Amino acid sequence: MKLNKAKVFGVVIGGLLYGLGCIPDLPTAEAQGKKIEWSDQEAPIVQTLRGMRQLPDDVRKTTTKAMALEIRKLPAGQNKVRLASGLASLSTEGDFGKDALQQVTTTLALAVRETPQADVGVKPAAVYFELASLARYEHMDLGEDLPQIARATQKLDEIDKRRQEANFMLSDLQGKTWTLRELKGNVVLVNFWATWCPPCRKEMPDLEKLYREFAAKGLVVLAISDEDEGKVRPFIGMGRFSYPVLLDPGRKVNGEFVVEGIPKSFLYDRDGKLVAQSIDMRTEHQFREMLALAGLR
């Protein structure tokens, strides 16, 4: 089963904290079920990260930056990488400021330079994909280049090409069939989500607001869930979401888009060109920035 970000939360930190990065592989210790021992210096950071989602966004912004600096002070080692990766994953759940995210990125890059991560099969370790994604999609500065990040970036090139060429035909909850490539002439936002995913639920009201605002100007939102209709339908009804909700229970479309963590959004302009994508939850402001790239303001 492929990793879904909010369901298994990406990176398991000592069986307590689940980071939220779009990461295809669990670190070795966690994957093998080994217990992680935290030092007295590390344990408070673990507790803070566990509670990050409960913080108001303004407090979370300052806490994110503070945690990046605290983790940076830790001795080199695998725990430092785990904590830095967990923080990086949490830090893309919305908009906590470019400065805070840059501090997080710098800390993670430092941690893997101090403690290089082994390849997973023929691929670079997950943390290098995390850094490559921060550079590409969040425009973060990674500092000194690393060959593992270069390889991860090359893989992202291949994945993005696949997403550009993607097509699908799925039915929504009302039985209407939607085919992506037949929607040229519209601005299409493809959003992958699930009812169990807290960041997904948090961004959905903003998606609804923007859909109502821009539908008359050609915005089509296609929200894709891999869950059963019995779970999705009542949730959508309670939330009174009016944009099309499509079902992908076999995860065929998730696979076509290489979706290994949610929420994730892809925006196509009126010519069918992939002009923007998110690696995590977006706020209304961030969604508006994406839509502007497709000419919707």
Alpha helices in 115-142 (DSSP H): 126-138
| 36 contacts 17 by C-beta, under 8 angstroms | no
Omega cis (within 30) before 263: yes
Per-residue confidence at 34, pLDDT binned at 50, 70, 90? confident
Per-residue confidence at 35, pLDDT binned at 50, 70, 90? confident
Q: Which CA distances in Å does 198 have to 7, 178, 239, 275? A: 9, 26, 14, 26
Q: State the average pLDDT over residues 244-256.
A: 96
Residue 49 has pLDDT above 70, yes or no: yes
Per-residue confidence at 33, pLDDT binned at 50, 70, 90? low
Coil/strand/helix, residue 35: coil
Count of C-beta atoms within a 10 Å radius of residue 132: 23
Residue 30 has pLDDT above 70, yes or no: no
| 138 contacts 279 by C-beta, under 8 angstroms | yes
The proportion of the chain whose per-residue pLDDT surpasses 70, expressed as a percent, equals 89
Of the listed ranges 25-39, 110-124, 163-177, the least confidently predicted one is 25-39
Tell me whether strands 245-247 and 219-225 are parallel, antiparallel or unpaired: parallel
Of the listed ranges 28-37, 148-157, 173-182, 266-275, the least confidently predicted one is 28-37
Per-residue confidence at 36, pLDDT binned at 50, 70, 90? very high
What does the alpha-carbon distance between residue 60 and residue 113 come to, in Å, rounded to a whole number?
Answer: 27
The proportion of the chain whose per-residue pLDDT surpasses 90, expressed as a percent, equals 87
What does the alpha-carbon distance between residue 270 and residue 256 come to, in Å, rounded to a whole number?
Answer: 21
Q: Which CA distances in Å does 120 have to 96, 127, 172, 181, 279? A: 31, 11, 37, 35, 21
Residue 17 has pLDDT above 90, yes or no: no
What is the rounded average pLDDT for all residues in the chain? Answer: 90
Over the stretch 140-187, which tens digit does the pLDDT of each residue have?
999 988 999 999 999 999 999 999 999 999 999 999 999 999 999 999
User: Where, residue-wise, is CATH 3.40.30.10 in the chain?
Assistant: 169-293
Residue 269 has pLDDT above 80, yes or no: yes
| 101 contacts 66 by C-beta, under 8 angstroms | no
Residue 3 has pLDDT above 90, yes or no: no
Over the stretch 189-237, which tens digit does the pLDDT of each residue have?
999 999 999 999 999 999 999 999 999 999 999 999 999 999 999 999 9
Per-residue confidence at 54, pLDDT binned at 50, 70, 90? very high
Residue 23 has pLDDT above 80, yes or no: no
Classify domain 169-293 at the CATH superfamily level. Answer: Glutaredoxin (3.40.30.10)
| 282 contacts 92 by C-beta, under 8 angstroms | no
Q: What is the pLDDT of residue 22?
A: 31
The tokens of 292 are what? Answer: 């502007």
253 burial class (0-12, 13-18, 19+ CB within 10 angstroms)?
buried
Residue 67 has pLDDT above 90, yes or no: yes
